[in-house]
Structure 1
Amino acid sequence: MTSMTGGGAVVKTLRNEDVSHVFGLIGSAGMEIFDALHCTPEIRFIGVRDERTGTHMADGYARASGKAGVILAGQNGPGATNLVTGLAQANAAYSPVVALAGSLSSQHVYRDAFQEVDQQALFKAVTKKTWTATQTKRLPEMVHEAFRTALTPRRGPVALNLPRDILAETVEYDAGPSAWHGAPPPAGEPDAVAQAARLLAGAARPLILAGGGVKNGRTHAAVLKLAELLNAPIAMSPGHGDAVPCSHPLYAGQIGPRGNVVATDFAKRADVILALGTRFGFNTTFYTTDNFNPQAAIVQVETDPLALGRLVPVSVGVFGDAGVVAAQLTRELAGHDASGARAWAAELREKRATLMNERDEAGAKGRTQPMQPAALFAMLRALAPADAMFTMDAGTLCLQATDQMPYVQPPALFTPLDFGLVGFSYACGLGVKLACPDRTVISLMGDGGFGMTMSEIGTAVQSDIRSICVVMNNGCWGAEKAYQRDFFDGRYIGADVPNPPYDKVAGLFGAKGFRVDDASQFEHAFGEALACGKPAIIDVQIDPNALYSFRRDSFKHRTKA
């Protein structure tokens, strides 16, 4: 065995877990870890400007790579508290983020020490598991457990607090148990699968509703094979429009207010809905039956048994992995005659084509000054490479964009999902780009959210992370301004945001900046951003009146003043 500090033991265990990137911000509580990283060239350290945005990078890295993303907060107290929003975001997305947080010395606990905060309690509500190291010799065991917990279904973030005295102590390194992250994805119980197959076999208007279980499991091939056997359109839950490739003829897009009218209409008329890897969560249903047929027979497939039938009544609940169960159903339905659903599938293709034509026409009409969002979305659809991966914020402009982009090669869409976080997209995109360096990464943000996180341009430049950020600049907090316009008689307060010229800010950091005042300038700017060989920011001026109240249901108690 080799003698090393506790910090060295943490880093050696990260190597044993095959970690290649660590995001973090240095601090005195974790200096032994940073020193060990300096001596470990196999791990690339990405120094960030804020622990919150660093956690978003780790989150994006995890979702894009399928591995755990690691964020290291070197300072106890404020360094740890800055992690909370990022971990809450990762928790809502079931993203396997491992947060390593420096903590004050063990002997100083409960003494009102400098930067003391109860980190154990702090992280408990926003992680899958939180614990604090108590012995240096057990650090390898605890780091292994962090990865095991984060990566075992249902995946999620974990936080491990590391007191500075535990990191400073010298021990003989003992690797402990080997890295192991759980059993293979579970198959559905045969009787439940057979019952589901009988329902699908009798469907005249079958629909597959694909969610995060399909996307995160990378099981779109199995789902497409089943859809083709059934002539079943594939709709997706919001934020998972890339669960299957958008180029497939059975692709319907996302349902609900964050989706499109075609997918939602088919969900409303389906007689059997096969829900693969989705909870029927808030953004899919708003906890109503407005966006799907309440009379449909619903087959729900989930790896979380508590999710089965929890939010909507189901005819059959199948505990199992979405992709595995899709393959089981394909075998069970071998030889199925889906000619009765052929017209149903043909109708989808026709209506989907009409929708896309309407969107392109809206884009052509929207080439005004200032530009309409539809024009920007149409140009991105035309110009984005097939390998493009899109990250998005919450907020009115990104919500309008969610169902509009071309998701050709899954995974290709990364959003805040049910946490609805503003300030997520750019940092997430940096993590996605590091996970998939050969793919094009395009981050869409409003100007307010970008203002929160633009310091990470420095991280992108320092670490040569060549993503493209398109800032949709309408000079306001658009979602809230829309509510003030529609429900509070235009009594605006706190809604307008004065911004610096973000293209010039990018240049000052050493990135490439572009400003687009007119739609005719965008194609050139985007082409230059793709080719510049640097991190790129495109500041696009968008009509501030192009706002939409997505959560109109929240204001049913109000009449328009």
Structure 2
Amino acid sequence: RAATILAGARSPVIISGGGVVMADGVDAARRLAEHLSCPVVTSYLHNDAFPASHELACGPLGYQGSKAAMRLLAKADVVLALGSRLGPFGTLPQYGLEYWPASAQVIQVDTDARTLGLVKPIALGIRGDARLAAEALLAGLQGSGPAPARDETRLTEIAAEKTAWATELAGLATPSQTGRISPRAALTELARALPADAVVSTDIGNVCSTANSYLAFDEPRSFLAAMSWGNCGYAFPAAIGAKVARPDRPAIAYVGEGAWGMSLTETMTCVREQIPVVAIVFDNQQWGAEKRNQLDFFDGRAVATNLENPDFAAVARAMGAEGTLVEEVDQIGDALRAAIASNRPTVLTLRLNQELADPFRRDAFKPTPTRLLEKYRSLSG
């Protein structure tokens, strides 16, 4: 039945989620997408669930995700969610875009039957392994008739949306000054300098979450993130674990200075056990996510969100690690490359300005917030 729905689709879109990575199913998802000539978007914080350089790859959904992914998903008449729970942060409106296609037929594949149809209505739920499901769907489509020709019109549309978003994203970074680096400029330079085989972990927070716009991977098992639970202090321990598991791959943690205060003591673990993880600490002297909420919801006022930080690079050196303070945007790439080449535990502190991205939910603190999930509708004012 799922193959029949896909065969009749005019504008199908595949959402490739974490279940695809865990099932070693990225190649199966790629072959299915190529058969359908359909765009592939990745679920929230699973930017490694489809090769970013592929012509059908459109980037991630969710907070600070890809507008190309969102616009193409909004036009879908059939959505195949492979290995995704379709969690709230990956399906709620972003940038003012209501991009979830309410009238589309949704086929959801997940190993946990409890997630099927939990967040979004579905036409068909399949409890199963994402790779096996993708392979079975492709076999079903191939067995139903000759392979369709490449849809050049669709491919042109995909390329145009990706180009438009890349151009818009490049223009979002504001000018940087010494000791006042634009967060988006910093994220751009880091993305350019990341090795292709790097494993990146991101913490929760305003700057780290904005990295969703910039992090792109061609290899699976390359991205670790705090997900919807939002546990502050996650990124550095996650990177340590990744480096121990795969010592052949560079491991890099993106951490806000607030979260860094919860995990910096593990620098001593890295020194003692000779684990060469690189921590990139975004020092903007504030709890950014909390301040952004307060400024929006409390008429420009903020309480208990400013931070007076020590020199984290000097603290790292006192612990026996390498520590570098970066205050110029054009030094970021070289600093990251040098940190990786040193094969030593390294803390790079980037001095940022206090520019902040959107809050996670603009409406959440209103007297009558919009209840976007059915299970909370009874709580609406």
Structures share a fold, TM > 0.5?
Answer: yes
Residues 226, 326 of structure 1: 8 Å contact kept: yes
Which stretch of the first structure deviates more once superposed, 461-470 or 331-340?
Answer: 331-340
SS at match of 2:254: strand
Residues 201, 336 of structure 1: 8 Å contact kept: no
Q: Do structure 1's residue 501 and structure 2's residue 307 form an aligned pair?
A: no
Residues 339-378 of structure 1 mapped to structure 2, 5 A cutoff: 339=149, 341-363=151-173, 365-369=174-178, 370-378=180-188
Q: Aligned-pair distance for 1:339?
A: 4.1
Where in structure 1 are there 5+ consecutive unaligned residues?
1-194
Residues 183, 352 of structure 2: 8 Å contact kept: yes
Q: Which residue of 2 aligns with 1:544?
A: 354
Q: In the superposition, relative to structure 1, how do residues 216 and 287 fare at CA in structure 2: closer, same or farther (>3 Å)?
A: farther
For 1:240, the aligned partner's letter is H
Q: In the superposition, relative to structure 1, how do residues 226 and 486 fare at CA in structure 2: closer, same or farther (>3 Å)?
A: same
Percent identity over paired residues = 33
Q: Aligned-pair distance for 1:287?
A: 9.5
2:235 maps to which of 390, 407, 425 = 425
Q: Which residue of 1 aligns with 2:132?
A: 324
Q: In the superposition, relative to structure 1, how do residues 398 and 432 fare at CA in structure 2: closer, same or farther (>3 Å)?
A: same
Q: In the superposition, relative to structure 1, how do residues 316 and 558 fare at CA in structure 2: closer, same or farther (>3 Å)?
A: closer
Residues 206, 356 of structure 2: 8 Å contact kept: no
Where in structure 2 are there 5+ consecutive unaligned residues?
370-381
Q: Aligned-pair distance for 1:233?
A: 0.8
Q: Which residue of 2 aligns with 1:241?
A: 47
1:302 maps to which of 98, 106, 110 = 110
Q: Which residue of 2 aligns with 1:87?
A: none
For 1:347, the aligned partner's letter is E
Q: Aligned-pair distance for 1:341?
A: 4.2
For 2:365, the aligned partner's letter is F
TM-score (norm 1): 0.62
TM-score (norm 2): 0.91
Residues 197, 329 of structure 1: 8 Å contact kept: yes
Q: Partners of 2:87 and 2:53 in 1: how far apart?
A: 26
Q: Partners of 2:47 and 2:60 in 1: how far apart?
A: 6
SS at match of 1:554: coil
Q: Aligned-pair distance for 1:538?
A: 0.4
Q: In the superposition, relative to structure 1, how do residues 242 and 384 fare at CA in structure 2: closer, same or farther (>3 Å)?
A: same
Residues 258, 283 of structure 1: 8 Å contact kept: no
Residues 359, 378 of structure 1: 8 Å contact kept: no
Q: Aligned-pair distance for 1:557?
A: 2.8
Q: Aligned-pair distance for 1:527?
A: 2.3
Q: In the superposition, relative to structure 1, how do residues 366 and 550 fare at CA in structure 2: closer, same or farther (>3 Å)?
A: farther
Q: In the superposition, relative to structure 1, how do residues 498 and 338 fare at CA in structure 2: closer, same or farther (>3 Å)?
A: farther
SS at match of 1:246: coil
Residues 83-232 of structure 1 mapped to structure 2, 5 A cutoff: 195-232=1-38
Q: Which residue of 2 aligns with 1:260?
A: 66
Q: Partners of 2:355 and 2:81 in 1: how far apart?
A: 37
Q: Which residue of 2 aligns with 1:314?
A: 122
Q: In the superposition, relative to structure 1, how do residues 279 and 299 fare at CA in structure 2: closer, same or farther (>3 Å)?
A: same
Q: Aligned-pair distance for 1:256?
A: 2.8
Q: Aligned-pair distance for 1:234?
A: 0.7
For 2:301, the aligned partner's letter is R
Q: Which residue of 1 aligns with 2:378?
A: none
Q: Which residue of 1 aligns with 2:282?
A: 472
Residues 389, 407 of structure 1: 8 Å contact kept: no
RMSD: 2.0
Q: Which residue of 2 aligns with 1:285?
A: 91
Which deviations, in whole Å up to 9, do the C-alpha atoms of 1:127-180 show, x marking residues without a partner?
xxxxxxxxxxxxxxxxxxxxxxxxxxxxxxxxxxxxxxxxxxxxxxxxxxxxxx
Residues 256, 291 of structure 1: 8 Å contact kept: no
Residues 280, 311 of structure 1: 8 Å contact kept: yes
Q: Partners of 1:336 and 1:351 in 2: how far apart?
A: 29
Q: Aligned-pair distance for 1:405?
A: 1.2
Q: In the superposition, relative to structure 1, how do residues 558 and 483 fare at CA in structure 2: closer, same or farther (>3 Å)?
A: farther
Residues 211, 237 of structure 1: 8 Å contact kept: yes
